Amino acid sequence: MKDKIIVALDFDKAGEAKQLVDDLQEADFFKVGLQAFLGFGDELIAYLKHKNKKLFLDLKFKDIPNTLYGAVKSSLKYDPYFLTIHLSGGAEMIKKAVEAAEEKPGLAILGVTVLTSLSDGDLKETGIDLSTGDAVIRLCELGVKNGLNSFVCSPREIEPIRKRFGQDVVLVTPGIRPAWAAKGDQKRVFTPGMAIAAGSNYLVIGRPINCSDNPAAAFAKILAEIS
Ligand code: C5P
């Protein structure tokens, strides 16, 4: 079960991120996002490799197809297990990402659907008149049509996605908040237990662990909840 927990290393100092990796002896899978990558990405990723940890490189690419192809190619040197692109970049961009990833058979490109911090009202403000739920299904459809089968979504969308696309799609869910943790800016949240029960393959967890006074205890508590 511990492989299902991906801990987000959202820090502004390399030392803090490495300390969390050391503190979480039990955790095997870590997410490096924009904050850490731009600050000290090479150093942190080398540290994760040295510690034999799996890397989720969460840079959420979205660009014209040709540029995106180059970005995915350049990312391969970090040997990530997961890499993210925004599905809203469109069909051609998705195809290029899939093509660029072909030389690394173990790598899965995850399509980001709708950020878990967005509500229906927030989407409307961006000119999208669909509910977050409908937008997620529409975007997964685009992903599946163009060669993806792994998606980032809110735990709330697991059921409709599985209903529409079956059990084989891999669903990675942020927006996880144990009952004892603060919600922060996440709006569409589930507890770890609820997300696993709903069929999430991987839980991405940041602040409930990385802002905790005792991250190892927070990790253990979450692991106990989902086991
Ligand atoms: O601190 P928290 O648990 O909210 O962190 C969630 C992590 O998942 C963050 O690193 C954030 O970038 C990421 N994420 C997200 N929503 C998505 C994709 C990724 O919150 N749709």
Domains of the chain, CATH where assigned: 2-226 (3.20.20.70)
Please state, as a whole number, how many other Cβ atoms lie within 10 Å of the Cβ of residue 201. Answer: 16
Across 213-224, average pLDDT: 96
Of all protein residues, the one whose alpha carbon is nearest to atom 8 of ligand 1 is 174
The position carrying tokens 């927030």 is: 122
Q: Which residues pair with 83 in a beta bridge?
A: 57, 109
Cα separation of 167 and 8, whole Å? Answer: 26
Cα separation of 60 and 58, whole Å? Answer: 6
Instruction: Find out whether 79 and 42 touch, Cβ atoms under 8 Å.
Output: no
* CB of residue 204 inside a 6 A radius of ligand 1: yes
- pLDDT, one tens digit per residue, over 17-38 is 999 999 999 999 999 999 999 9
> pLDDT band at 65, cuts 50/70/90?
very high
Dist. CA 195 → ligand 1 center (Å)? 15
Across 158-175, average pLDDT: 96
**Structure-model confidence comparison of residues 45 and 117, the more confident one:** 45
Output the pLDDT for position 189.
82
Dist. CA 89 → ligand 1 center (Å)? 19
Angstrom distances, CA of residue 8 to CA of 24, 34, 90, 140: 12, 11, 27, 23
- pLDDT, one tens digit per residue, over 95-149 is 999 999 998 989 999 999 999 889 999 999 999 999 999 999 999 999 999 999 9
* CB of residue 116 inside a 6 A radius of ligand 1: yes
60 annotated active-site = yes
Of all protein residues, the one whose alpha carbon is nearest to atom 11 of ligand 1 is 174
> pLDDT band at 12, cuts 50/70/90?
very high
The count of residues in the chain is 227
Instruction: Find out whether 200 and 158 touch, Cβ atoms under 8 Å.
Output: yes
Please state, as a whole number, how many other Cβ atoms lie within 10 Å of the Cβ of residue 1. Answer: 11
pLDDT beyond 90 at 185: no
Cα separation of 146 and 92, whole Å? Answer: 8
Dist. CA 65 → ligand 1 center (Å)? 25
Dist. CA 2 → ligand 1 center (Å)? 18
Across 182-200, average pLDDT: 87
Instruction: Find out whether 116 and 154 touch, Cβ atoms under 8 Å.
Output: yes
Output the pLDDT for position 1.
87
> pLDDT band at 152, cuts 50/70/90?
very high
Confidence (pTM): 0.94
Across 66-79, average pLDDT: 98
Task: Provide CB contacts within 8 A for 34, sequence distance 6+.
Answer: 58, 59, 60
pLDDT beyond 80 at 186: no
> Would you call 24 helix, strand, or coil by DSSP?
coil
Cα separation of 2 and 84, whole Å? Answer: 22
Instruction: Find out whether 131 and 138 touch, Cβ atoms under 8 Å.
Output: no
The position carrying tokens 């197809």 is: 65
Q: Ligand 1 atom closest to Cα of 186?
A: 4
Instruction: Give the active site residue among 2, 54, 60, 95.
Output: 60
pLDDT beyond 90 at 163: yes
- Helix boundaries (H) for the chain: 14-23, 34-50, 65-75, 91-101, 120-125, 132-145, 158-165, 192-198, 207-210, 215-226
Of all protein residues, the one whose alpha carbon is nearest to atom 17 of ligand 1 is 115
Q: Which of 204, 207, 209 to mutate to test the pocket of ligand 1 (most atoms within 8 A of CB)?
A: 204
